[in-house]
Structure 1
């Protein structure tokens, strides 16, 4: 098997924690005489005026850091870099607290509404971009995913060569995770219990689905406390399917407060509406460090407003 060679180092630095776009021209050549012709075909979603503007302004560069102009010839296999046009983003007005930092790991306490990694219309206003910029760690990468609407613990890897070791902890279910949630209380739902189901999440579809198939997800759900018609729940997932806890709680007839997707997909709120966060918190993570052998346990310092301060909710 031929091993793919590593991409060369970008001559452009990150901007606000966001990498420049990297393109490699086809090694076999093609019908393009100039770089401009190739980019016009390769980037159909980018307006022609934008492509021309980048080239005229000298904002497309090659491996040597020199600008590439509109009339420069197409060179098979050449590497190009340029900065993407960032979407307009409403700042998420909550702090991202660093709980732990060493030579291998950064563990943060993420607020609600802040995406973990750049995706779609959330690019700069993400935990990864903020951390790369504020900690001056351009190679930082996520060890796992945490939904944008979920608050609490998220883990990042400092060095690219260590990423696989930490990602394997989550893949091999070696991280013991605890979540807290606030939802309605129903005495007819017997707890604690283990919920298993087969979850499928299609790309481009907001809601995941549970199918009649062998289970691929498992959650242990218990009640910590009851207050009137509300319950404070402890959730321990042993798998990490997308929206798993939200689906399992909704399936019990106990949808998590503030959930805009389960059991019914609601109209998306305005980008600057931060009033009703999903009442789900990644509260604790425990594992043995695969590189140092040290035991780690991290705990979130955040609380769920519907439980700690119901009047504000």
Structure 2
């Protein structure tokens, strides 16, 4: 599979329509020339499309030299190209920029919009939309939200200071607060702390709780009844994949419209009228450059 360029790496092709080029690394010298290798390696793309990309000069080596169908490949080369999709379903919701300075871009992400390109999503991703909207070519997410989750997310657009902000998340010096709608849990006393050991589950996109030393922790509290459901305040103290969704399901109150937990439902495509009722409400931290207390809050409601 191809990999997208790192924001700090030297890239021989420019960003096009907000999309950075991708590359494939050759860990062995292939038997055939460039076209034969690419057609074999990317079986779903097809020879005609690779010929067209090569004719446009959009398949190059690390030095920016254009590769043709008969170009000789060697172990250790990187082949750069633009990923393309024949058709992409529009996501009918807009992101909102909450804040921007010389280092950060803070965004209110809508439900259903992926953070970065992958799979069936390319232009309909938050990163590509923001690059097109702002012109910030070196935009990189400091942390991530699930595609199904809405709310506050932070991007860096200054390579020199990116590490300082990334270290806040690595050191768990960021306070994140979420809101979720789920069934009431009248038998439990709130606030409560839920700890568990989470590992990759089955299918591959799910997580599961198992016996063993806890590697995930969430503080869960009630805010107020909302119809037949309860609005909860969730504060993750760790950052495991799907952590809040797994923890709420484990308590017996899966988040409303969750298609993964407690059981993975058959995929029927996105139901835009019924998003996952999980919102990254706010994020707080002390700015590592100025020491200033920062707080950003979503304007969305569940």
TM-score scaled by structure 2?
A: 0.88
Render the CA deviation track for 1:185-206: whole Å, top value 9, x for unaligned.
Answer: 1311221110000111259613
Query: Contact 1:235/1:245 (CA < 8 Å) preserved in 2?
Result: yes
Gaps of 5+ in 1: 1-5, 305-313
Q: Which residue of 2 aligns with 1:309?
A: none
**CA–CA separation in structure 1 for the residues paired with 2:224 and 2:32:** 69
Q: Which residue of 2 aligns with 1:295?
A: 293
**CA–CA separation in structure 2 for the residues paired with 1:205 and 1:64:** 37
Q: Which residue of 1 aligns with 2:111?
A: 112
Q: Which residue of 2 aligns with 1:278?
A: 276
Render the CA deviation track for 1:264-297: whole Å, top value 9, x for unaligned.
Answer: 21122324x3010111110010001122322211
Query: Contact 1:182/1:280 (CA < 8 Å) preserved in 2?
Result: yes
Q: Which residue of 2 aligns with 1:3?
A: none
Q: What SS is found at the alignment partner of 1:163?
A: helix
Q: What SS is found at the alignment partner of 1:69?
A: coil
Gaps of 5+ in 2: 1-7
In the alignment, is residue 9 of structure 1 matched against residue 8 of structure 2?
no
Q: Which residue of 1 aligns with 2:158?
A: 159
**CA–CA separation in structure 1 for the residues paired with 2:32 and 2:250:** 58
Q: What SS is found at the alignment partner of 2:119?
A: coil
Q: What SS is found at the alignment partner of 1:256?
A: coil
Q: After superposition, where does 1:96-175 map in structure 2 within 5 Å?
A: 96-175=95-174
**CA–CA separation in structure 2 for the residues paired with 1:115 and 1:38:** 30
**CA–CA separation in structure 1 for the residues paired with 2:197 and 2:88:** 35
Query: Contact 2:107/2:154 (CA < 8 Å) preserved in 1?
Result: yes
> Could you tell me how far 1:42 is from its partner in structure 2?
4.6
Q: What SS is found at the alignment partner of 2:59?
A: coil
**CA–CA separation in structure 2 for the residues paired with 1:293 and 1:30:** 51
In the alignment, is residue 20 of structure 1 matched against residue 21 of structure 2?
yes
**CA–CA separation in structure 1 for the residues paired with 2:248 and 2:46:** 44
**CA–CA separation in structure 1 for the residues paired with 2:166 and 2:200:** 20
Query: Contact 1:184/1:230 (CA < 8 Å) preserved in 2?
Result: yes
Larger radius of gyration: 1
Q: Which residue of 2 aligns with 1:308?
A: none
Q: Which residue of 1 aligns with 2:3?
A: none
* Residue-pair matches, total: 295
Q: Do the aligned partners of residues 25 and 260 (structure 1) sit closer, same or farther apart at CA in structure 2, a change above 3 Å counting?
A: closer
CA-based RMSD: 2.4
> Could you tell me how far 1:47 is from its partner in structure 2?
2.1
